[in-house]
Chains A and B, each alone.
Chain A
């Protein structure tokens, strides 16, 4: 490839980094940093979208006051926390043993198995949520039919509800339905993270433990778990941050409105509604900062929970 660079385009090494950075940095300031500052500014202003930017007026903390007194906002925060826990905790409790099984038992087909588990993570949340909303349908949805099928097995009969469940029409079932999708989507991603962590554990640790007569379970408890602790910290942090931003699945499953009795209204979804359905950009911005503070707080708590303890462990 002998492409001639014109003389006029020649730049000195002193200027080169600035030239190389300029497109990225320009976009970064316009679409990355500026919106952040603008969002903070909006949070302290009231604004009528219909009457242009001139109608913006400073209202002090009133938007925050409104947010903190808004029952829907608190409901959405509760929903979001519930969903983050109900979809997030099982993700890790299941991903860790799965990763251990795959690491131990799969040599030849490992890439295929890992690929299968990872696939939900790369596919469109919207397409998947739409598919699941058909699976969760009341009368002939696959999930209700499967549950009905289970009721023919004598041992399981008592665990299965009598009639079909109105998953998306009843407040108490919307959240579990969303949690199932989120779990399905992210469990494989966590398996991949934990598999990566397992690769780094030295084999002789296990050999020495086997010589000493430690059982598989003891090895898992005393070698595997402590070794993957840093990855647990990382993976749980990602789950917390991702879980608190839940939007697409909740939007599709509840038709964009939050579902019966706002049971599926996540905070990200409510922010969207507050801004674009109710035209309150200032209030929505204030809420986004409250939610951000909550995300930061939970990330910090995760950090404390997983902070490396003494080396002796």
Chain B
């Protein structure tokens, strides 16, 4: 072969090889960062992470500080947010996929949901403060926080539930109609059960986003120092991310370690939820 041509081909192959490594290096940046992040949190937090930490209230003294009120606050918040956002989100998705006619109004709802998904979370905090805390008069309570969080994650749940419903093929709906079922009977007995695992997966992922959110709850005034566990939905509260934020912004160095221990609790909660979501997805995944 021509020597020049051979050199050209070699050069092009070399460029390809170099870029292969560059692209791989780019990909590994994210992975390496995640590893460093986890290592730096474990190395700081492990020494402070014990039973006493889980069962104590916050304290001005780092050795005595614990996460009990924040953990309970987060559990309360999710227990309230989950049903509200699930019912509204799945309801919206069923309406858009099964009932809505293709007109300007259903298009408007769809565009609106896509835009809401891109609104910064702190803006939802401003809405929650004006509407729920001051407007309706719930005050800085669990229910105000849960309603704010529900609106925040609503778009995520709607979109994932829509995808789940859309994945159910038309043929099984028609089979149900052919047997004489009405539209709602078909949705209730055929479509929803088939789509349920995917809907549940999407909802759990959205809820895990709500557990990690801080800014909107700071806006509506979840407290940073709470030495009790909430008794009712009208009680004031704190949550894990806000407790961590509070410890992070203290000048004493020991509180950085306490914050790291708090982050460990938060990440354990999130990883558990994500594993459940992935487990559900794999267990119930079906191809039609």
A binds B: no
* Interface, chain B (partner A; CB < 8 A): none
* Interface, chain A (partner B; CB < 8 A): none
